[in-house]
Chains A and B, each alone.
Chain A
Amino acid sequence: MESVNEARWARLSALLAPIHTQAVATARRLCRSSFEGDDLFQDTVLRAFEKLHTLRDETKFRSWFYATLLSRHRTRLRRSFWRRLLPWDQAFAGGHEPAREDGTGWGEALGHAARIRRALESLPAVQREAIVLFELDGFSIEEVATVQQVSVSAVKSRLARGRERLRAWYVRHGDVTPDAVRTRSGAPLLYQADFAAAGREERTR
């Protein structure tokens, strides 16, 4: 039994190696802190180990693993107690702030990262995942659709709604003026073509 498990760990390790860095970063971006993201990733690795026998085609490991990651992400969101474990603003408690290679603090960059984390947290899980995968991880819309196990048009809709909510969050929290939004009513937020396309879909719902 032990040798079977060892073989399975070895197989998982080999499959995970090419995508490990990106997947950990994705997990961190989905969560309220890097610490929580690492925890989500470990949870996903464990789940992947237990379900590895269901993976038939190893060439599809990346999307299979990401689908598992998103599944664990949503499961943890449903368990409200997870949300209490680590408030976002305690992710880097005093004295533990990481330093850049040149020795300078991360102060400002961390502030920006913290702000977008809070904004992303206000989004429904599916929209947050779509935004993170598409905007940050370089997934195509088709790839996002595969790992989210929905249609391409659903992903477009999620992206459009997610961007709209992000923008609303920034306005609500005084980071940009409402006038700036009004003058750009109906205009693109981040990606002109995608937003316009998805916006049409939303209107026709």
Chain B
Amino acid sequence: MTDRASDAPEGAEIARDLDALAAESHHELPSLDDSLTAARRRRRAAPRWKELLMPVTTRSRRPWLATAAALLLVLAAAMFPISWQATVGHDVALTLTGVRDVAQASGIAREMKSVLGADHVAVRATADGPATTMTFAAYVPAGQGVDAAARAQALAAALRSRGFAATALATPRRAQVAGPVYAYARDLVIRVDTDGKTAAQIESEIRDRLAAAGLTNTTVSVTDQGSRREVRVTAESHTPGESPQGLKLQLTKDGKPIDDRQGVRIEMRRVRSSAGETLHLDVTDHGRTAAIEIPRADTMSDATLQSEIESRLRAAGFDLVVTVTNGKVSIEDHD
């Protein structure tokens, strides 16, 4: 504690507190025997399987064996069959009101079939006074790789330009599917290509893709600020088992994922359970990542939550700007 500049008010306070900590940390120190006994007891209590795995996982001893074992485990896990809810396709409904000439129905049905790549189109006509309301229904399987919602809207727009009162609606069809784990992981990734698209186009596309994945209660915002582009996506699910948790949004450019090393990516999830609300943060800042979990976040004041997040981020080595307003958390880099 020599040379401490105690004339500075803050320096004196810190110096006094450091002295107090130095004294407190020497209070009732365990003896060497106590420490060794505790460590030995802890070693005996360690699970037996951990000891058995130790030679395998100790890369310094048997790196090839550890690598092979890890690879096998990953492969086995990836092939493990599970079942999950997935979007298997879209039900597209095209509605034309005030149709005078019912004979046009077959032409429109053929056009719809061709645009959507659907196997067949069902037509239903209902009398609407002197005119007729016609509904064309088709199913587009997800495996077809067609953006059903976008194509249906484009068809409706084309029909409107030809004088029809046309509206289109694409509803994702969800079903329980089964398959290996790797297929599940693939299903959880939403890829959006950004090549040559404006912020508004990307925003619209992300919204559509999230809707296609079954998340309709979403807020998407894409804004350009000089050379930087900010993408904010908020998705809510109030139904147990339909949590957006795990769903990944991947933006691509030139057919390749935009590297996280080029910017800051923050994934925030608030998961409510009987124990309260837990805030999960996955932060990637120029290639470095950290996962932070704050239990009972809903019981904290804005200032406490902000301080807690800042503290955790700093501990993880991240220097980011955190603001919490009315429970709404915002994390940004300094740029």
Contacts and interface: CB of A to CB of B under 8 A. Distances in A.
B24 A113 contact: yes
Contacts of B16: 112
Contacts of A111: 20
Contacts of B15: 190
B29 A21 contact: yes
B79 interface: no
B29 A25 contact: yes
Interface string B288-310: 00011101000000000000001
Interface residues of A, number: 63
Contacts of A21: 26, 29
A105 interface: no
**Interface band, chain B:** 35 or more
Contact of A110 (B24, B39, B295, B315): B24
B32 interface: yes
B187 to A, nearest CB: 28
Interface string B37-81: 011101100000000000000000000000000000000000000
B43 A192 contact: no
Given A17-B32, A38-B30, A80-B292, A112 B20 contact: yes
A28 B21 CA distance: 9
Given A25-B29, A116-B18, A189-B8, A78 B39 contact: no
Interface of A: 9, 12-13, 16-17, 20-21, 24-26, 28-29, 34, 37-38, 41-43, 45-46, 49, 77-78, 80-81, 83-84, 98, 106, 109-113, 115-117, 119, 121-126, 135-136, 166-167, 170-171, 175-177, 180-181, 184, 187-193
6 contacts: A24-B29, A38-B30, A115-B17, A167-B14, A180-B10, A181-B10
- Closest 8 CB pairs between A and B? A112-B20, A116-B17, A28-B25, A45-B39, A113-B24, A176-B10, A180-B9, A113-B20
